[in-house]
Amino acid sequence: MPELPEVEVVRAGLAPAVTGATVLAVTVFDERALTRHRGDGAQFEAALTGRVIRAAARRGKFLWLPLEPRAGGIPADAVVGHLGMSGQMLLRTPGAAPERHERVRLDLAHPVHGEVSVVFADQRTFGSLAIDDLVATGDGAPGGYGTAEASVPAQVAHIARDPLDPAFSDAAFRTALARKDSALKRVLLDQMVISGVGNIYADESLWAARIHPETPARTLSARAVNRVLAEVRHVLEKALAEGGTSFDAQYVNVNGQAGYFAHSLNAYGRTGEPCPRCGRPLVRVSFTNRSSHFCPHCQRAPHAVGSTARA
């Protein structure tokens, strides 16, 4: 599933093409792409046609395109996108042939760049687009990366800020972990505590921090939590610089190009290979509906890390 770096790569690619653009036409080819939208395809097309897009924003794995307010005191709104497992947002020239698995197409006119089409394609149909009202952020800070407006779509408001967000609170994160008996990896994947850190980057960050994924979150010292956050940010920023992690043709940027961070992975997907740090075999264990990859020598099991974590 696309994680923060993959979604941010898409957001950054969309931003210059859509910011300030007018929606000329909307075509919904498959209403399964509107599962989070309150209306049907015809209503989605009518509500979006003629609108002006203000920006391209992101919080965690959610994207949204804030729209210029309508007349008559109607609440501000935005197009909200979630890529699900295989969703893609692609930029195409006007009149380009339909993409395989194309679900929705937005035809735009940009005042500088001219006309362009934004295509939402999704093979597995777990992704979605929706028009949703914008609500004020609880902390008064911008809603997410890419926008200066202190608002966020209502269906995204419960999602925590991600660690690359300037308004992310390290202190609040430390406090949240101190109250959690859950395994640290489980907390890192909890989108209501910290967003955008999926399975791949959690494994990579914990390997870098030398902390076992099953370590109870509350046993970590402030110093250990700071180390985890530093490694999470480092891993995410490195993945961003390399265009994200692509294991198949589904994870691409707006031009259809794959990222190459998979070549930089130290733990995830490397079961049985030597640990890049100590040379001992990496292991894979079942974790909910996923797997955890780690080094049992460098990342000591929870019963052995209690005193170290508090150091």
Which residues are known to be catalytic?
Answer: 2-3, 61, 290
CA gap 135, 4 in Å, rounded = 22
Contact partners, residue 167, CB within 8 Å, separation at least 6: 139, 141, 142, 161
149: buried, middle or exposed (CB in 10 Å: 19+, 13-18, 0-12)? middle
Annotated binding residue 300: no
Q: How many CA atoms lie within 13 A of 270 on its CB side?
A: 21
Taking each helix axis from N to C end, the angle separating 222-241 and 4-18, rounded to the nearest 10 degrees, works out to: 50
Tokens 């043709």 belong to: 249
Annotated binding residue 180: yes
Cα-Cα-Cα-Cα dihedral sign, residues 204, 212, 226, 224: negative
**Residue 48 to residues 18, 23, 66, 94, 143: CA-CA distances in angstroms?**
13, 7, 11, 18, 21
Annotated binding residue 124: yes
Residues flagged as binding site for DNA: 101, 124, 180
